[in-house]
Amino acid sequence: MRISVIIPAFNAARTIEQTIASVLGQKRPPEEILLVDDGSTDDTGSRAARLSPCIRVLGQANLGPPAATNRGIREAAGTHLAFIDADDLWPPDKLARQEAAFAAEPELDAVFGHMRSFVCPSATADERRHWHIPGEPQPGWMLGTLLVKQTAVDRVGLLDERFRIGAAIEWLARIRDGDLRLRMLDAVMMHRRVHAGSLSQRSDARDKGYLKLIRARLHERRNK
């Protein structure tokens, strides 16, 4: 097994070093780390490049998270792919646990895990009062908990770049609804950072993006 870690990033200078430290600190380290700098105007890319020689920074114009993720998928050399947003964290045993799951069940195509949310230390008291953070870990049907075979990604296809918001959810739905063999581990595989402006927070832009994606998918199904 060769693991490639893909990190799409845009103006993530405040958190990228912590995120990459959690990847470099894995008990089972990945073979490569691909940081896709999606047109950042800060020093996200240079900060990442300084951390380790195994990090490859791929720069591009600002095309959105789906395009950045797809760039990483296309450039990855690993047999298995893992993903993490530029502000989230992995526990040290994330990749080791998932590699063990694949070893125990070689027929698996993808392994997920639970996720735990935490409030970013930069959050204000007012923001904290308005956010609901689950106290217990939740099943993480998310990119950040996933380790997937490259061959499975080839079957599912890439993320839909027409939708900057919601494309990852739609892609994961294709993975879950397809004929892939999946496993959800009962252990925390990701710590999700909650902060103002993150895609995990409700906003008019996020809701409109999801509505646009749903309408497009319904239209495509009717045409079929």
Question: What pLDDT, on a 0 to 100 scale, did the predictor assign at position 196?
Answer: 57
At 127-154, the pLDDT tens digits run: 555 666 677 899 999 999 999 999 999 9
Q: For residues 35 and 88, give the distance between their C-alpha atoms in angstroms, rounded to a whole number.
A: 14
Task: Place 197 in a pLDDT band, splitting at 50, 70 and 90.
Answer: low
Expressed as residue numbers, the domain containing 103 is 3-223
At 27-74, the pLDDT tens digits run: 999 999 999 999 999 999 999 999 999 899 999 999 999 999 999 999
pTM: 0.85
Q: For residues 179 and 98, give the distance between their C-alpha atoms in angstroms, rounded to a whole number.
A: 20
Q: For residues 183 and 101, give the distance between their C-alpha atoms in angstroms, rounded to a whole number.
A: 8
Question: What pLDDT, on a 0 to 100 scale, did the predictor assign at position 64?
Answer: 96
Question: What pLDDT, on a 0 to 100 scale, did the predictor assign at position 209?
Answer: 46
Question: What pLDDT, on a 0 to 100 scale, did the predictor assign at position 68?
Answer: 97
* Number of folded domains that form the chain: 1
Within 8 A by CB and 6+ apart from 167, the residues are 65, 66, 159, 160, 161, 213
Q: 167-177 and 204-223 helices cross at what angle (nearest 10)? A: 40
Question: What pLDDT, on a 0 to 100 scale, did the predictor assign at position 201?
Answer: 45
* CATH code, 23: 3.90.550.10
Mean pLDDT of the chain: 87
Determine contact, residues 84/5, Cβ cutoff 8 Å: yes
Within 8 A by CB and 6+ apart from 126, the residues are none
Q: For residues 81 and 110, give the distance between their C-alpha atoms in angstroms, rounded to a whole number.
A: 9
Q: Which residue has the higher pLDDT, 112 or 178?
A: 112
